[in-house]
Structure 1
């Protein structure tokens, strides 16, 4: 450690460049991690609010909520602690100059999936909705009348709730009859018992009995099969893994070049009796210090960036994830230093000093 630290102090510019590269790589890794978490929450926030263990869908729906169609009397609650009915459609809501894609959930206000109202009041009459508070960022407010695409029905916002997004779209909560009016128009009465799913809370999903044409899906599987959810997460995860590889390669190149430049110095040190093990340990210690400094600076830069990002940017930092990624970055950096260690081990003192 003594040798590693003294060399860093005597070559500040050279090692500052290495720390700077590691800082930028870790900064990008941390930002991508936050973005992945933020996008994940945008897709499943409304589902997490249910705090449910499973969802009942039709077998042919392929875990897709809009493709599932069943009736209120298709399930009687057998095996569940409690259950709730859910109907869902997607639309475009417009109020004045404000426009947004929305998901509309038709629910029973007396069931557990009724959201907590953070502003205003819960819906009590036909065509009233409680909206996800992200709509406020688009200019919507309590009292706004929403015109929906493909229907003549208008809805009125009477309240807001937090963390209400489904497949990245803000959620509007309303009663089942209102949703049927929006979906079926004048034929709504004929479809008043139609829903898309039952949401269930239970101690054991295996105890939930349903009809042959229905299936019980655990909440995790339901979320993973949301359109684009897995593909999006996989893409960002691969980007983070590639950055780990890039970090190792970049540091390996830097250290290898530095090692080649110091072959004669290492040769003299070996001739004086300093072992290859000691020199290798010095390189490892030096790499650890550089990587640790780069990761810490990258973390601080990430936190500063996160503090100034606008709310519309879907970024959420999970500190345990950041810690794991930071440790991995340090580890792969040390792996990258192994190339330099091999070079040091192979140095012949006599040849290195020109003997």
Structure 2
């Protein structure tokens, strides 16, 4: 470690460049991980808010809440500790000045799907809704009357809740009766029992229903099946994995070039009795120091950048995940030093001095 640190201090510019490259790679990795987490949250926030273990949809729906159609009468076939019915539709909401894609949830006021209210109050009358607080950033306020693209009904925002987006769209929560008026219009009385799914809170999700027409879906599996969720997550994760490989290659190239330039010096040191093991550990220690400094600076810059990003950028930093990625970056950087270690081991002192 002493030899490694002394050489870093003596050749500041050379090693600063290596640490700088690692800093930029780690900055990109951390930012991509924040983007992946943020985009995932855009899709699943409202589902996580349920704190549910499973959701029951029709077998033909292919795990899609929107494509599932059932009767609330089927609730009697469900054997679970806690159940809650839900209706869902997508629409464009407008308050006259602003428009926004939304997802409307129809729920019962006495069931666990009712969200916490951080501003205003819960819905009490027909056509009242609790809205995701993300709509406030788009110009929507308490008391706004909303027109929906799919209905003649007008809804009034009476409260806001936090962390309520479904498939990247802000959620509006309303009573099941209002939901059915919005969805079916004049035919609402004939379809007042129609819902999209049944959300379940139970320690076990096996044998919740014996109805062959219904499908019990574990909540994480339901989230994974949301349109675009898995594809988006895999794309960003593969980018991060490629960056790990790239950082390893970059470090390997830099250190190998530096090692080749110092072959004669290593030959003299080996001739003086310094072992290949000591010199190899010196290179590994040098790599660790550079990787640690570069990764730490990259992490700090990412967190600072995150503090200045506009709310419209869907970035959410998971510190535990970022630290894990930082550890992986240091490991692959050290792995990249293997080529330099092999070169040192193969140095013949006599030939190196002769050069």
Indicate the residue corresponding to 2:177 in structure 1.
Answer: 177
Indicate the residue corresponding to 1:212 in structure 2.
Answer: 212
**Root-mean-square deviation (CA), in Å?**
1.0
Indicate the residue corresponding to 2:55 in structure 1.
Answer: 55
List 4+ stretches of structure 1 deviating above 6 A: none
Distance in 2 (alpha carbons) for counterparts of 1:210 and 1:239: 43
Distance in 2 (alpha carbons) for counterparts of 1:91 and 1:138: 16
Query: What are the residue-to-residue correspondences of 1:81-120 with 2, within 5 Å?
Result: 81-120=81-120
Indicate the residue corresponding to 1:145 in structure 2.
Answer: 145
1:78 deviates by 3.9
Distance in 1 (alpha carbons) for counterparts of 2:75 and 2:103: 24
Indicate the residue corresponding to 1:236 in structure 2.
Answer: 236
Indicate the residue corresponding to 1:245 in structure 2.
Answer: 245
1:75 deviates by 2.1
Indicate the residue corresponding to 2:271 in structure 1.
Answer: 271
Indicate the residue corresponding to 1:334 in structure 2.
Answer: 334
Secondary structure of the residue aligned to 2:305 is: helix
Indicate the residue corresponding to 1:32 in structure 2.
Answer: 32
Distance in 1 (alpha carbons) for counterparts of 2:4 and 2:22: 18
Secondary structure of the residue aligned to 1:87 is: strand
Instruction: State the Cα deviation string for residues 20-61 of structure 1 (Å, max 9, x = none).
Output: 000011111111111111111111110111111110000111
Contact preservation (8 Å) 2:77, 2:211: no
Contact preservation (8 Å) 1:88, 1:196: yes
Q: Which segment drifts farther, 40-49 or 76-85? A: 76-85
For these two proteins, the number of residue pairs brought into alignment is 355
1:77 deviates by 6.1
The yes-or-no answer on 1:198 pairing with 2:201 is no
1:226 deviates by 0.6
Indicate the residue corresponding to 2:135 in structure 1.
Answer: 135
1:79 deviates by 2.5
1:132 deviates by 0.3
Secondary structure of the residue aligned to 1:30 is: helix
Runs (5+) with no aligned partner, structure 2: none
Indicate the residue corresponding to 2:125 in structure 1.
Answer: 125
Distance in 2 (alpha carbons) for counterparts of 1:83 and 1:35: 34
Query: What are the residue-to-residue correspondences of 1:258-337 with 2, within 5 Å?
Result: 258-337=258-337
- Provide the TM-score with structure 2 as the length reference: 0.98
Distance in 2 (alpha carbons) for counterparts of 1:298 and 1:79: 51
1:190 deviates by 1.2
Q: Which segment drifts farther, 241-250 or 72-81? A: 72-81
- Provide the TM-score with structure 1 as the length reference: 0.98
Instruction: State the Cα deviation string for residues 265-309 of structure 1 (Å, max 9, x = none).
Output: 111111111111111010000000000001110111011111111
Distance in 2 (alpha carbons) for counterparts of 1:77 and 1:296: 55
For residues 297 and 116 of structure 1, do their structure 2 counterparts lie closer, same or farther at Cα, with a shift above 3 Å needed? same
Runs (5+) with no aligned partner, structure 1: none
1:210 deviates by 3.8
